[in-house]
A and B are shown apart, each in its own frame.
Chain A
Amino acid sequence: MIREVCVDEIRDQIREMCIQANHFLSEDMDCALKTALEKEEKPLGKKVLSQLQENLRIAGEDMIPICQDTGMAVVFLQVGQDVHLTGGDITDAVNEGVRRGYTEGFLRKSVVGDPLERVNTGDNTPAVIHYSIVPGDQVTITVAPKGFGSENMSRIEMLKPAQGIEGVKNAIVDAVKTAGPNACPPVVVGVGIGGTFEKAAILAKQALTREVGVHSDKEHIRALEEELLDTINQIGIGPGGLGGTVTALAVNINTYATHIAGLPVAINLCCHVNRHIRRVI
Chain B
Amino acid sequence: MDRHITTPLNPEEVKTLQAGDYVYITGEIYTARDAAHKRMKEALDAGQPLPMNIENEVIYYMGPSPAREGRVIGSAGPTTASRMDKYTPELLDLGMKGMIGKGKRTPEVTEAIVRNGGVYFAAVGGAGALLSKQIKSAEVIAYDDLGTEAIRRLKVEDFPVIVVIDSKGNNLYESIY
Using CB atoms and an 8 Å cutoff, list the residues of chain A in contact with chain B: 48, 51-52, 54-56, 58-59, 62-70, 106-110, 118, 120, 122, 147, 149, 152, 177, 180-182, 184, 235-238, 240-243, 271-273
Are B129 and A240 closer than 8 Å at their CB atoms?
Answer: no
Q: How many angstroms from the CA of A70 to the CA of B65 in the assembled complex?
A: 8
Asked if B117 is at the interface (CB within 8 A of a chain A CB), the reply is no
Q: How many angstroms from the CA of A109 to the CA of B35 in the assembled complex?
A: 14
A236: chain B residues within 8 A (beta carbon): 176-177
Are A181 and B102 closer than 8 Å at their CB atoms?
Answer: yes
Query: Chain A nearest CB: distance from B160 CB in Å?
Result: 8
Q: How many angstroms from the CA of A149 to the CA of B167 in the assembled complex?
A: 26
B35: chain A residues within 8 A (beta carbon): 118
Are B65 and A65 closer than 8 Å at their CB atoms?
Answer: yes
Query: Chain A nearest CB: distance from B39 CB in Å?
Result: 12
Partner of A242, one of B122, B129, B130: B122
Are B75 and A66 closer than 8 Å at their CB atoms?
Answer: yes
Q: Mark contacts of B76-88 with chain A using CB atoms, 8 A cut-off: 1 yes-contact digit, 0 otherwise.
A: 1101101000000
B103: chain A residues within 8 A (beta carbon): 149, 180-182, 241
Partner of B172, one of A51, A69, A109, A242: A242
Are B177 and A235 closer than 8 Å at their CB atoms?
Answer: yes
What would 12 more interface pairs be, CB under 8 Å, given A58-B133, A64-B65?
A55-B128, A67-B127, A106-B65, A110-B148, A120-B146, A122-B147, A181-B122, A184-B126, A237-B176, A240-B102, A242-B176, A271-B126
What 6 pairs between A and B have smallest CB-CB spacing? Answer: A182-B103, A184-B125, A55-B130, A68-B75, A64-B129, A59-B129
Number of B residues near A (Cβ < 8 Å) is: 38
CB contact list, B45-67 vs A, under 8 A: 62-67
Asked if B168 is at the interface (CB within 8 A of a chain A CB), the reply is no
Can you sample 11 A-B contacts with CB below 8 Å? Answer: A51-B124, A52-B126, A64-B129, A66-B129, A68-B64, A107-B66, A149-B80, A149-B125, A238-B176, A241-B176, A272-B126
A62: chain B residues within 8 A (beta carbon): 129
Find the B residue at minimum CB distance from A238.
Answer: B176
B71: chain A residues within 8 A (beta carbon): 64
Query: Chain A nearest CB: distance from B43 CB in Å?
Result: 17
Partner of A241, one of B66, B76, B102, B148: B102
CB contact list, B116-167 vs A, under 8 A: 122, 124-130, 132-133, 146-149, 162
A273: chain B residues within 8 A (beta carbon): 126
Partner of B173, one of A59, A70, A241, A271: A241
A237: chain B residues within 8 A (beta carbon): 176-177
B68: chain A residues within 8 A (beta carbon): 63-64, 106
A107: chain B residues within 8 A (beta carbon): 65-66
B37: chain A residues within 8 A (beta carbon): none
Asked if B104 is at the interface (CB within 8 A of a chain A CB), the reply is yes
